A and B are shown apart, each in its own frame.
Chain A
Amino acid sequence: MIRTAGPRRGAPRTGVDWFLTFLRVAALTVIAVGLLAFIWQEIDADNPFARVVNPDATGLSGEQFRGLVVSGVAQGCMYGLIALGYSMVYGVLGFINFAHGEVFMVGAMTGMITSNKLADAGWWESNFIGSLLLIVIISMIVCTLTAVIMERVAYRPLRGAPRLIPLITSIGVSFFIQNAALVLLGPTAKAYPDVPDWVKDKHTFLQIEGARILVVVVSAVSMAVLWYLVEHTKGGKAMRAVAEDAEIAALMGINVNRTIVRVFAVGGAMAGLAGILWGILFRSVTHLTGFLPGIKAFSAAVVGGIGHLGGAMAGGVSIGVAESVGPLVILEPLGVSGVSQLRDAVAFAMLIGVLLIRPSGIFGERLPAEDRT
């Protein structure tokens, strides 16, 4: 299983290798001990082992645990949708577009503006589904345009430059979009209009809120559509060909620039969709909304195996569930206090853990030597 980590066979182990091995063992030990303590706690609330490290531990009820998993999956689906954009752009251009999280924020903002307008006109209440479809379409269009313009203005002039240069540019683009939103819309958090009861209510099946069901269903459907487009259409074949060897793709007559624009457009549309789902679920958005989900989606893309579509989604859901469940299941039984604030730490610890144990990600292929620099 562990393929890319560790020294080459036969090479002497250096101090760094020993240190990394120690880290790997330590990380796995923390997870294993935490999990065991949790399981013990669930079996017997007065478990002597957990009492030693954390006298106040109470364990989780079945309902609490289910709630954590469900909210983790829903959150993870949104990370996954954003991660698709990171992963696909990395696939064709080989750099991380750090401004992609801001495209997601632009989507959430567009949704906020249009949904409030619709609410003013009274459509939001009278025809919620229709309004939702409308804001999804508008947001996807706006985000697609944002991503395409970003490619044209910021990245295309840098085609052929070393990868570090577009990477740094993308950080600049990210600041630009963030501050543009700040200037245009102000620093305060802005709310989505109230949603109908069926979205807020918990439904009989597993007691899940309507909004979370919506998020999971919409993500699954759009992922399936995207998978079909990439695997079974001519344009998708062109994308995969460009991702593998742009020069030979051009030799087949594929317009490489147009294909790259398409990749940005598809990634932007997915981010726009995620933005609306975020808005419906959390109902609040600021100019900083794109930052943390963006970084986590990037982590999701890496955890799933960057460049791999299914991996992006799997990575998103893994990170979402880990950050939701991890603090209470692994950290609390270990006696860490204030665990609910540690969700971000858990998410990034997971990224570091994957990089330590399986750097190519869950579904990633081993990188060829020339790509590893």
Chain B
Amino acid sequence: MSKGETPTGAVPLLEMRSVNAHYGAVHALRDVDLSIHAGELVCLLGGNASGKSTTLKTLLGMLKPSSGEVVLDGEVVNDKPTSYRVARGVTMVPENRRLFKRLSVRENLDLGAYLRSDSAGIAEDLERVFELFPRVKERLSQKAGTLSGGEQQMVAMGRALMARPRLLLMDEPSMGLAPALVQQNFELIEQIHAAGLTIFMVEQNANMALSIADRGWVLQTGRVVLDDSAENLMTHPELRASYLGQSDA
């Protein structure tokens, strides 16, 4: 499979089939189709209120679609709770990190592995997180709220990795971070992806996201308006004009 090509044949890891979602009277998602295959790094782009976060909530089961199907490993999971999906390897790094600030860094990481009971595997993953983020190890007993923004981002990623996910959803990884940290963060995402993790990233910063992604979708007022390889999206005139123009500014 060459970079950017939509994989065919294999069952997608996670899929949305013509999903509609509502917040009360607000029609937040309109017939959204997405499919994420094992091994991919894909991104969903869109401006404010385009439905990006709603998509993530629906994928994780925090919001029930009003019609359509969310399919995990070929199984329709519309009625399954979040914990069911987490136990099957779907985890999210939330927007603005959302650490448990009053809990210690160690406890935050432990909570990431909440559904697991294989203590040997958990210890192994903890070591992996320390390898990726040596800084986290130094801060283990500190309250998460006392860490700097960059450190919190590391703990948030570490917490998600502790679930030993197969698919990592990332909600706006560049949000609220200094530019240097954004760069570093995207390098980390690439690194984790290179280690074999499938990543679905939701971003406003389209240039940054497309520079590391294989494929992407562009969401506008709840509708998928573009679905293409990252290279094509980068040079897509419509995207450049309407969307990247804004986010470059």
Contact = CB atoms under 8 A, between A and B. Distances in A.
Interface of A: 234, 237-238, 240-241, 244-245, 247-255, 365
B154 to A, nearest CB: 17
Contacts of A247: 62, 98
B114 A253 contact: yes
B94 interface: yes
Contacts of B62: 247, 250-251
B115 to A, nearest CB: 4
A248 B100 contact: yes
A250 B114 contact: no
A244 B82 contact: no
10 contacts: A241-B103, A241-B111, A247-B98, A250-B83, A252-B111, A252-B115, A253-B82, A253-B163, A254-B114, A255-B81
A253 B83 contact: yes
B110 A237 contact: yes
Given A250-B83, A253-B83, A254-B83, A244 B114 contact: no
A252 B91 CA distance: 8
A237 B83 contact: no
A357 to B, nearest CB: 24
Interface in B85-107: 86-87, 91-92, 94, 98, 100-103, 107
Contacts of A251: 60, 62, 82, 86, 91-92, 94
Given A238-B111, A240-B100, A250-B81, 4 more contacts: A241-B100, A249-B100, A250-B82, A255-B81
Given A234-B114, A238-B114, A255 B83 contact: yes
A240 B102 contact: yes
Interface residues on B, range: 20 to 34
A251 B111 CA distance: 10
B86 A244 contact: no
Contact of A253 (B86, B94, B98, B101): B86
A244 B108 CA distance: 12
A191 to B, nearest CB: 45
Contacts of B91: 251
**Nearest 10 pairs of A and B residues by beta carbon:** A253-B115, A253-B86, A253-B83, A252-B114, A252-B111, A248-B98, A244-B100, A253-B114, A250-B82, A241-B100
B86 A252 contact: yes
Interface string B153-177: 0000001000100000000000000
A244 B87 CA distance: 22
A249 B115 CA distance: 11
A237 B115 CA distance: 13
B112 interface: yes
